[in-house]
Chains A and B, each alone.
Chain A
């Protein structure tokens, strides 16, 4: 299926292509990110973990947590980035962990200082499976910022609901289609 372009034109096209290449530049480095099923901040290439990102004012706060295998200890880690100048936050950050039915005022906060890679990390040991909150607090010259992250220890609840709804919808749909087909067949007879 030739479009009938002349060979001189083909040569010119290639010449343009070569000229375009002169303007090519190389990206010298890039994040190991791609299919991001791992945290690309300080845990690569360890077992993948999930990151939670929230914004407050002009700060982007990334939170992640790792379970220490074999016991009930957790590492909680936070990275705070100022989106205006793309610089990491450097002053101390406070962590407060409390259960869903606990009063945060009765819990003790942990104060964390940034490490060499600008990550704030604290260790936390839990007693029971369940849903917890992590309140991350930091301050700039204007105000104090509070951000709440979910911390799930153990299984999610109501997961069966998703499966039940999916399976039930398929069964109901199949039944409806079956009934319609029977009616259609009867009419044909």
Chain B
């Protein structure tokens, strides 16, 4: 680790050099100005339907394909649970595989492949299996009370709450360093998905409660992939709405979508059931330009807007929590945590919780205040709430690309730590591949990581400003 210095026993990493910071700011402003004042905003709207490739069409329509993708992920999930529950708690693959490889890599998967995680989700695999009692064939009478999701909860508040709790557990309770806690969280998530499937119709939890699905849902609007109707006219003339209701060939859309009104990726979980159920072969898997949905979002919602603001706050908080400003572990440093510790005297976890709540609230209130100012500047022509909702979508790419910059650093600088653990995943003293005790260099050097981070942040801001300009 030649990039780091050790100070008072703490490994420190220098921040991005000044010139990178100012180049990033300069690029953001320059490119944004060019986009902002461009009169003819001609966007590429062309699509390429992957189902035109016969093999892909054949593959998507086979019911066993999702099972074939989910099974290996399920087995990996079982390995993580076994490692966390029964493995040596010191040398254990569970935290690194979960929090560095999966959580770190998930955001990259969303950027390029949209909601692909939902397609391979092991929690969904378990829930579907225990409810439908079929590996892949359609069971029209699954074990479920098929109740409607409560009307007051038909929003993504539950997912937002779970995401905040996860961040608190991750950074405050440091659950991500604990194999056992990681496994317990995996089990808890399984129960969170399984119980609702027995009670509510379709996959209501995926639509309203899943924190992974809802976050990736908003982010997936930037992805260059979508499932859409090939022809809206065909959909409008369709009386049976098999995509919504299901039939012998495919389940009803688990998140209650129908292709006629599907214009955004937010709630599509790419399960491909609509490909199987549509009697008119009117479903396309399109490759499209990046950020197609988010640049022209048709149905802005308050709950999604709140999630967008919280996403930005939490991703920023993630970065802040790594700095000495938040917690200075070196000698004599004053930080937010040490100040709160001194003020409350109730321990680090309490100070962390108070600090995190504050850090979450500040950008939120600031954003509301700026929306209110805009409302006044616009001579009350538009309400503060409407401004809040419409402009919030411009924060999504900023949060996504910041998330990429942050997670990319973890994957690139820590991903190699999995290699020694692969030989002894449970800490039983094995050396399956001869990698135990070996140290491996970082996948990317610090300068490369910095440059990539600046590029990500700049791209996010440029897309964000473009969306704001359109709003």
Contact = CB atoms under 8 A, between A and B. Distances in A.
A118 to B, nearest CB: 5
Interface in B49-96: 85-86, 88-92, 95-96
Contacts of A163: 85, 187
Nearest to B17: A26
Contacts of A85: 332
Main secondary structure of the interface of A (DSSP, over half): loop
Contact of A31 (B300, B324, B439, B469): B324
Interface stretch (A41-49, A102-110, A140-148): A41-49
B347 A55 contact: yes
B470 to A, nearest CB: 7
Interface string A7-29: 00110001000100100101111
Given A31-B323, A50-B178, A174-B130, A88 B9 contact: yes
B4 A32 contact: yes
A49 to B, nearest CB: 5
Contact of A162 (B15, B16, B85, B347): B85
Contact of B10 (A4, A18, A31): A31
A30 B198 contact: no
A83 B338 contact: yes
A119 B29 contact: no
Contacts of A169: 191
B118 interface: no
A70 B328 CA distance: 36
Interface residues of B, number: 97
Contacts of A28: 14-15
A86 B338 contact: yes
Given A30-B13, A34-B410, A156 B331 contact: no
Contact of A30 (B191, B194, B324): B324
B223 to A, nearest CB: 22
Contact of B9 (A119, A178, A180): A119
B99 A41 contact: no
Contacts of A4: 378, 381-382
Interface in B455-471: 469-471
A47 B82 CA distance: 19
A44 B471 contact: no
Interface string A112-123: 000001110000
Interface stretch (B224-232, B254-262, B413-421): B413-421
Contacts of A63: none
A135 interface: no
Contacts of B88: 67, 154-155
A41 to B, nearest CB: 5
Given A86-B338, A152-B89, A1 B191 contact: no
Contacts of A29: 12-15, 324
Contacts of B338: 83, 86
Contacts of B8: 88, 117-118
Given A3-B382, A44-B11, A86-B338, A31 B329 contact: yes
Contacts of A51: 174, 177
Contact of A50 (B177, B341, B406, B410): B177
A29 B324 CA distance: 8
A152 B347 CA distance: 25
B25 A21 contact: yes
B390 interface: yes
A86 B414 contact: no
B13 to A, nearest CB: 5
A40 interface: yes
Contacts of A152: 89
Nearest to A159: B85
A73 interface: no
Contacts of B180: 156
B348 interface: yes
A3 to B, nearest CB: 6
Interface in A142-186: 152, 154-156, 159, 162-163, 166, 169-170, 173-174, 177-178, 180-181
Interface in B348-367: 348
A40 B338 CA distance: 18
Contacts of A10: 36, 469
A100 interface: no
A32 B12 contact: yes
A117 B414 CA distance: 22
B233 interface: no
A67 B90 contact: yes
Contacts of A44: 1, 4, 11
Contacts of A49: 90
28 contacts: A2-B470, A3-B378, A3-B382, A4-B378, A26-B15, A26-B16, A29-B12, A29-B13, A29-B14, A31-B11, A31-B322, A33-B322, A36-B171, A39-B177, A40-B329, A41-B9, A44-B4, A45-B413, A49-B90, A50-B89, A50-B179, A83-B338, A86-B338, A117-B8, A155-B86, A156-B85, A163-B85, A177-B143
Interface of A: 1-5, 9-10, 14, 18, 21, 24, 26-42, 44-51, 53, 55, 60, 65-67, 69-70, 79, 81, 83-88, 117-119, 152, 154-156, 159, 162-163, 166, 169-170, 173-174, 177-178, 180-181
